[in-house]
């Protein structure tokens, strides 16, 4: 097998490929660079032995996640370093699973997509942030989400990279054919069912209290956050208000049960005074020194009509897995309590409509929205809280996830964050409104409620996972035939 003749012939293009992939992600968002980075890695892996493919892939992973997961340093810098080093191993595994000579194209796309799928699922539920699919929220590949969700969108990035790399090689016809095939698939996605015609429309107000960013909950009194939300809500027009008022995640932080608390009374009166459905994020104590992260809906009568408890908790943010073990390596005092895991499908039925609820981190997981939509959700709502981050990296990646969730489910989406970004997104993935970070504001919109399903709502991930495994096997069979020849 061929080895690079010059020093840096492996490291430089590998790291460059990873950096290009990262620069396709928000907040940079230069989506074509994702395909270029994927193509550069595919080209670099050609002819390399196993050990060198591992090295090349790991370097590409470092380049990608050193930028794509840069937000993790907000928790602690050494944890961020360990995270980046470990996440890069998934790209190394994908590179090792790519045959060196023949059968490379299908195996590379399959291996890279499957390893990314694994990274976004394991361990502790995975970390979808930094995933290459997030870089395509503003590009034409977004339409693939309607038929295959983030999985097919991820495969589209790697397939587009293979097409570009092959187009500039001696096999130009194959490269052109692959890119044409990808374009046809995008067109199929664009023409596929997108949730159907609206059954009706509702008026909504998305309340962003504003305030300082880059601070944790110990630095800001719960009353300050709650009062900021109230102050913004008091700007709502008098009399009958919008059908739905959406507050962010955990802006009602309690040291006692919600029922009968002063905050419960205030929010009940707010819902009654505007004859609206008010949905807000609440944290309250739970048994065994735990806490509940809930989304609570008050109806126009002032009574609580629905409660959803967050299912997909943030590891090392809302709970610590294997706490006694990790306590040997880090100070876990900032996560002194674990959140109680919820188990519901995310559907909240209210007088304003039936909503699929994705709480913060859950917006990065396709299964959460798909489950609620199949249960009857007509609109997606995302109460979130990204105020602890100093930069716009996580908020912008969350907005990208908003667009992808909307497209894959065929549902419009609204998001409320205490310091931004709050958004209004159409079922075609267009961001109609986005707030300004840290500024107090209220977004008003009229949004449709839909009941139709997209192909991805019907199919999920399993058919695509099977195809990817078959492509990986087929690629290696071709490589083994060459080795025996």
The set of residues, in sequence order, having a beta carbon less than 8 Å from that of 289 and lying 6+ positions away, is 337
Cα–Cα distance for residue pair 23/15, rounded to 1 Å: 12
**What pLDDT score was predicted for residue 6?**
62
Q: Are strands 423-425 and 413-416 parallel, antiparallel or unpaired?
A: antiparallel
Q: Which two tokens stand for residue 96?
A: 């090792």
In the predicted structure, residue 47 carries a pLDDT above the cut 70: yes
What is the mean pLDDT of the segment spanning 59-82?
Answer: 89
> Beta-carbon neighbour count of residue 481 at 10 Å?
11
Please tell me the distance from the alpha carbon of residue 116 to that of residue 127, in angstroms, as a whole number: 10
The answer to whether the beta carbons of residues 65 and 22 sit under 8 Å apart is yes
Q: End-to-end distance of the chain based on CA atoms, in angstroms?
A: 15
Q: What percent of the chain has pLDDT over 70?
A: 98
* Residues facing 348 on adjacent strands: 355
pLDDT at 349: 98
Instruction: Give the whole-angstrom CA distance, residue 375 versus residue 403.
Output: 21
* β-bridge partners, 379: 355
Question: Which pLDDT band, with edges at 50, 70 and 90, does 326 fall under?
Answer: confident
Structure letter (DSSP) for residue 102: S
The two beta strands, 304-309 and 338-339, are unpaired
458: left (phi over 0), alpha (psi -120 to 50) or beta: alpha
What kind and span of H or E run contains 425? strand 423-425
Q: Enter the pTM of the model.
A: 0.94
Give the three-state DSSP class for 415: strand
Residue 297 has pLDDT above 80, yes or no: yes
* pLDDT value for 7: 59
Q: Give me the helix-helix angle, 462-484 and 145-167, nearest 10°.
A: 30
For the cut 80, the answer to whether the pLDDT of residue 288 exceeds it is yes
Per-residue model confidence as pLDDT tens digits over 141-188: 999 999 999 999 999 999 999 999 999 887 888 899 999 999 999 999
Q: Mean pLDDT lowest for which of 4-8, 208-212, 302-306?
A: 4-8
User: Are the C-beta atoms of 416 and 384 separated by less than 8 Å?
Assistant: yes
In the predicted model, what is the mean pLDDT of residues 189-212?
96
Contacts of 260 by beta carbon, 8 Å cutoff, 6+ apart: none
Q: What tens digit of pLDDT does each residue of 342-377 get?
A: 999 999 999 999 999 999 999 999 999 999 999 999
Q: Does residue 359 contact residue 384 with C-beta atoms inside 8 Å?
A: yes
Domains and CATH numbers, the chain: 11-192+460-484 (no CATH), 200-453 (3.60.110.10)
**Cis? peptide before 84, omega within 30° of 0:** no
Q: Are 298 and 268 in contact (CB under 8 A)?
A: yes
Per-residue tokens: 111: 């291996």
pLDDT tens digits along 89-122: 999 999 999 999 999 999 999 999 999 999 999 9
**What does the mean pLDDT of the chain come to?**
94
1 confidence band (pLDDT: 50, 70, 90): very low
Task: Indicate left, alpha or beta for 372 from its phi (over 0: left) and psi (-120 to 50: alpha).
Answer: alpha
Q: Could you tell me what percent of the chain has a pLDDT over 90? A: 85
Following DSSP, what letter does each residue of 429-454 receive, concatenated?
A: S-EEEE--TT--EEEEEEEEE-----
- Show contacts of 463-466: CB within 8 Å, 24+ apart: 464/148, 464/151, 464/152, 464/155, 465/114, 465/117, 465/151
The predicted pLDDT at position 111 comes to 98
From the list 466, 467, 440, 455, the residue with the least C-alpha distance to 409 is 455
pLDDT digits (tens, 9 = 90+) for 251-281: 999 999 999 999 999 999 999 999 999 999 9
How confident is the model over 314-323, as pLDDT tens digits? 888 888 888 8
Q: How confident is the model at residue 469 (pLDDT cuts 50, 70, 90)?
A: very high
């Amino acid at each position: 097998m061929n080895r690079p003749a010059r020093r840096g012939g492996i490291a430089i293009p590998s790291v460059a490929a990873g950096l290009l992939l990262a620069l396709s992600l928000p907040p940079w968002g230069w989506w074509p660079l994702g395909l270029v980075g994927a193509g550069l890695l595919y080209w670099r892996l050609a002819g390399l032995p196993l050990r060198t493919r591992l090295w090349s892939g790991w370097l590409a992973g470092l380049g990608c996640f050193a930028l794509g997961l840069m937000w993790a340093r907000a928790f602690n810098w050494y944890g961020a370093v360990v995270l980046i080093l470990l996440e890069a191993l998934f790209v190394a595994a994908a590179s090792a699973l790519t045959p060196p000579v023949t059968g490379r194209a299908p195996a590379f796309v399959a291996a890279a997509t499957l390893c990314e799928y694994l990274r976004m699922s394991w361990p502790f539920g995975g970390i979808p942030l930094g995933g290459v699919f997030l870089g395509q929220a503003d590009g034409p590949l977004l339409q693939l989400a309607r038929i295959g969700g983030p999985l097919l969108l991820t495969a589209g990035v790697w397939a587009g990279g293979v097409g570009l790399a092959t187009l500039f090689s001696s096999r130009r016809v194959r490269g052109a054919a692959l890119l044409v095939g990808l374009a046809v698939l995008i067109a199929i996605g664009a023409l596929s069912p997108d949730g159907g015609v609206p059954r009706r429309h509702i008026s909504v107000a998305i309340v962003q209290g504003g305030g300082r960013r880059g601070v944790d909950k110990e630095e800001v009194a719960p009353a300050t956050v709650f009062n900021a939300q109230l102050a913004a809500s008091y700007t709502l027009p008098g009399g009958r208000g919008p059908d739905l008022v959406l507050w962010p995640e955990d802006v009602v932080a309690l040291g006692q049960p919600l029922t009968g608390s002063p905050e419960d009374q205030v929010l009940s009166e707010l819902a009654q005074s505007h004859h609206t459905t008010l949905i807000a994020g609440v944290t309250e104590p739970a048994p065994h020194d735990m806490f509940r992260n809930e989304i609570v809906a008050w109806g126009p009568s002032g009574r609580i009509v629905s409660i959803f408890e967050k299912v997909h908790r943030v590891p090392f943010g809302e709970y610590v897995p294997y706490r006694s073990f990790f306590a040997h390596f880090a100070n876990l005092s900032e996560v002194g309590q674990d959140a109680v895991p919820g188990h519901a499908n995310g559907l909240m039925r209210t007088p304003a409509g039936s909503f699929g609820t994705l709480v913060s981190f859950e917006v990065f997981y396709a299964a959460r929205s798909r489950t609620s939509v199949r249960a009857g959700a007509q609109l997606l709502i995302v109460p979130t809280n990204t105020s602890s981050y100093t930069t716009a990296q996580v908020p912008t990646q969350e907005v990208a996830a908003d667009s992808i969730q909307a497209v894959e489910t065929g549902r419009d989406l609204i998001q409320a964050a205490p310091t931004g970004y709050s958004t209004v997104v159409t079922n075609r993935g267009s961001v109609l409104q986005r707030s300004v970070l840290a500024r107090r504001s209220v977004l008003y919109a009229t949004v449709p409620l839909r009941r139709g399903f997209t192909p991805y709502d019907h199919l999920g991930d399993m058919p695509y996972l099977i195809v990817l495994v078959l492509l990986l096997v087929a690629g290696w069979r071709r490589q083994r035939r060459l080795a025996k020849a």
